[in-house]
Amino acid sequence: MEKLKKRWGIESNFQIVVIFIVFGVTGSCAAKLAAPAADLIGLDKEQLSGWIYWPIRILLIFPIYQVLLVFFGWLFGQFQFFWNFEKKMLKRMGLGFLFN
């Protein structure tokens, strides 16, 4: 636990618990919101092959997750941690130009 606190620049165990809760809530909500998002863009599980539907739906989860991560981080009082986490992750994916 101490290694994680040092790596993330966190001082308390409570902060780690809050961060884990934010990750969990964000993942669950992003997965849940992917279904209405798929419906919104016209993806229908009944009309498409599973080989097409599921990869597209998983790709939909990614941007939803990014937005929700910062939102829930703010809601739980950890905005700065998750904003920095988000920028770092997107820079590693080659999308750092979004923050310049």
Task: Report pLDDT digits (tens) over 1-16.
Answer: 888 888 888 888 999 9
DSSP 70-83: HHHHHHTT-HHHHH
The whole-number average pLDDT for the span 68-92 is: 93
pLDDT score recorded for residue 100: 67
The whole-number average pLDDT for the span 42-48 is: 84
The total number of residues written for the chain in this structure: 100
Does the pLDDT of residue 96 top 80, yes or no?
no
The whole-number average pLDDT for the span 49-57 is: 88
Mean residue pLDDT of the chain comes to 90
Extract the tokens encoding 46.
Answer: 């009944």
DSSP 27-71: HHHHHHHHHHHHHHTT--TTTS-HHHHHHHHHHHHHHHHHHHHHH
Q: Which helix (H) or strand (E) holds 24?
A: helix 13-40
